[in-house]
A and B are shown apart, each in its own frame.
Chain A
Amino acid sequence: MPDALSILVIDDNAIRASIIEAGLREAGHDRVRVIVDVEDVDAQIGAIGPDVVIIDLENPNRDVLEHFFSLSRSLKRPIAMFVDKADLSSIEAAVDAGVSAYVVDGLRKDRVKPILDMAILRFRAFSRMQDELEAARSELQGRKVVDKAKGILMQSRGISEDEAYALLRTTAMNQNRKIAEIAQSVVTAAELLGP
């Protein structure tokens, strides 16, 4: 059995980093290190000497990493990005997911590919989670605005809560807009007109 791969995850998003780390450990990799604080990242990598580096694409330290790798190339430890230079589809999938990987040259593709695939999956799952969180947040925000707008309508027009809601809904349908948008304009108008 070949030696266990040493994997380094560099990500300034601590939650995402831990999701990747967990995935790697589940897959049986126990030599996983995570760097969240990227200050002095080159010195830390020098000390760790990883076989595979996984880094988020938004990380400005990619240029630092590549410089570091180019130095190690002169130490006869060539490192190439991704699994295979020619494997464009896998590179595209990685970039689309927002992750990049650097791999010690000469590692067998079948050993590294699953690691990259897992990282891609987890990055995608994380961004889906972010989107859902964002959607939930804006929905909550929307509900608050609708409640406020209902209150304003109830008070200014002397109608019931149900009637206020029906009014918002009909207006939204007539104007082909979302209820939350109509509610927001009611709230804004009320603020402009003052108490």
Chain B
Amino acid sequence: MGLTQITLGFAPLLDSAVLIAAQEQGFAEAEGLVLKLVRETSWANIRDRVAIGHFDAAHMLGPMPLSANLGLTPLDAPLIAPMALGLGGNAITVSNDLWAAMVAFGAPAGGSAKGTGLAMQRVIADRAEKGLPRLRFGVVHRESGHNYELRYWLAASGVDPDRDIEIMVVPPSFQPDALASRRTDAYCVGEPWGSVAVARGIGRIVTTKSAIWRLSPEKVLGTRVQWANRYPEQLAALIRTLTRAARWCGDPDNMPALAKIMSRDDRLGLPSELLLRPLSGKLLFGPEDEHQVDEFFVPFLRAANFPWISHAMWFYSQMVRWGQVEHTPENAAKARASYRPDLFRAAMAGQGIAVPSANAKIEGALTEPTMVGAAGATLTLGPDGFFDGMQFDLDHLDEYIASQKR
């Protein structure tokens, strides 16, 4: 029997793990697929090459299908996310100088989003008082989880990210260099690019995505609506392949092997020891300062592959919050249709892997691990709190958006 080739684009980041494992560990062949992975250097390239059909699907920033459907991108090709590629995986890194200033204002070493946020706010207020230039923060893309979680963290700590600081876009692998050459003072990026700065001795990880919003959405599998409609069987087989690969990635016993295959030159091209730390959550925040970060990057457990509508809509609420789109019923409907839990559920039916029964949940409502309704097996979700104790309930979208208006 012939195998069907599927071409996937990816960016060299920790959460490309699922795609790499799927190709490497035989999960694709079991579904009758052969995966061709193409490494890309910019999210713009990934988006464009999916849009014109060079790639069947790709590793994508979670908000990217929304921004394509909301007309924020240069090409008009409707995109969807039929599955997610994991939860968490990002960190906020600051220069050594900025860290010293934060410590002077009481920053804790353990990665608490609240404590470090407060110290950051004080540093920023102090600089403003002294007439020093605004701090510059790097993110990887305007419509990215990184941009939104950085802004969320700062705003909840009393900083106006549009007025009090500068946010600039820097490609992930260029972030350490930008920090070293003082073009930026801090950055929020997917691993391993925070760990790279620590290893080079030029920065410190102060907090993580998991501390700002535990078990929060990050990358998705993105594809054209047109492709999904034309090849539903291939898409379902791809979803099954990637979900099984994600389960393999999430098993601690497999992490050393995973780090090794990801370290290859045509994948991430970085030493496997450097990749193993963020995979296992044993991050070095500074030289010889290891912290065990629970659920730092979750590729499979906690329904990490399920494309929650509530995740899509939280991204939408932040696009509105920061003036990228106007909140209208039409735009909200487009955002909602960008994530397709129905496709995930259909593909995973009868596979013995737990799939949530609901399409949305109240984000931030679970304070401890909780069993939920699921098909296929038992499923535990959460804890999924935001560090400031807020909740996002899709049924109260208008109120949430109004509450964040400045």
Tier of interface size on chain A: 20 to 34
Most A CB contacts (10 A, CB to CB) among B140, B171, B323 go to B171
Smallest CB-CB separation from A82: which chain B residue?
Answer: B74
Chain A residues with Cβ under 8 A from B323's Cβ?
Answer: 74
Interface residues of B in 157-210 (CB under 8 A from A): 168-171, 173-174, 181, 183
Q: Closest 8 A-B residue pairs measured CB to CB?
A: A81-B74, A60-B171, A67-B169, A62-B44, A60-B41, A62-B42, A64-B169, A67-B142
Contacts of B25 in A (CB 8 A): none
Partner pick for B44 among A42, A63, A68, A86, CB 8 A cutoff: A63
Whether B45 lies near A62 (C-beta < 8 A) is yes
Say yes or no: is B393 at the interface (Cβ < 8 Å to chain A).
no
Q: Is the CB of A91 within 8 A of B44?
A: no
Contact A92 B42 (CB under 8 A): no
Q: Flag if B43 contacts A40 (CB, 8 Å).
A: no
Say yes or no: is A85 at the interface (Cβ < 8 Å to chain B).
yes
- Given known pairs A40-B183, A95-B48, A95-B52, the reply for A63 and B140 (CB within 8 Å) is yes
Give the contacting residue for A61; candidates B42, B52, B75, B142; CB below 8 A.
Answer: B42
Quick check: B42 and A59 within 8 Å, CB to CB? yes
Bound-state Cα–Cα, A92 to B49, Å: 9
- Residues from chain A with a CB closer than 8 A to the CB of B49 are 95
Q: Is the CB of A100 within 8 A of B171?
A: no
Q: How large is the interface on B (under 10, 10 to 19, 20 to 34, 35 or more residues)?
A: 20 to 34
Q: In whole angstroms, what is the CA distance A153 to B170 when docked? A: 57
Q: How far is the CA of A133 from the CA of B401 in the complex (A)?
A: 58
Name the residue on B nearest A68 (C-beta). B169
CB–CB B48/A63 < 8 A: no
Query: Chain B binding site: helix, strand, loop or mixed by DSSP?
Result: loop
Q: Are A63 and B75 in contact (CB under 8 A)?
A: no
* Neighbouring B residues of A57 by C-beta, 8 Å: 45, 48
Given contacts A70-B142, A88-B52, A91-B52, contact A81 B171 (CB under 8 A): no
B234 CB to closest chain A CB (Å) equals 22
8 A Cβ contacts from B330-377 to A? none
Residues of A that sit less than 8 Å from B by CB: 39-40, 42, 57-68, 70, 74, 80-82, 85-86, 88, 91-92, 95, 100, 102
Pairwise interchain contact B42-A42, C-beta atoms closer than 8 A? no
CB distance from B353 to the nearest CB of A (A): 34
Identify B141's interface contact among A59, A63, A88, A91, CB under 8 A.
A63
State A64–B41 Cα separation when bound (angstroms).
12
Q: Hey, which chain B residues are within 8 Å of A70, CB to CB?
A: 72, 142
In the complex, the chain A residue whose C-beta lies closest to that of B171 is: A60
**A42-B168 contact in complex given A88-B52, A91-B52, C-beta closer than 8 Å:** yes
B75–A60 CB distance below 8 A: no
Asked, given contacts A66-B74, A85-B74, whether A60 binds B173 with beta carbons under 8 Å apart, the answer is yes
| Cα separation A95 to B54 with both chains bound (whole Å) | 9
Q: Which residues of A contact B173 (CB under 8 A)?
A: 60
Among A40, A65, A91, the one with the most B-chain Cβ atoms within 10 Å of its Cβ is A91
Residue in B75, B168, B174 whose beta carbon sits within 8 Å of that of A85 in the complex: B75
Q: In the complex the two chains form, is A92's CB within 8 Å of B171's CB?
A: no
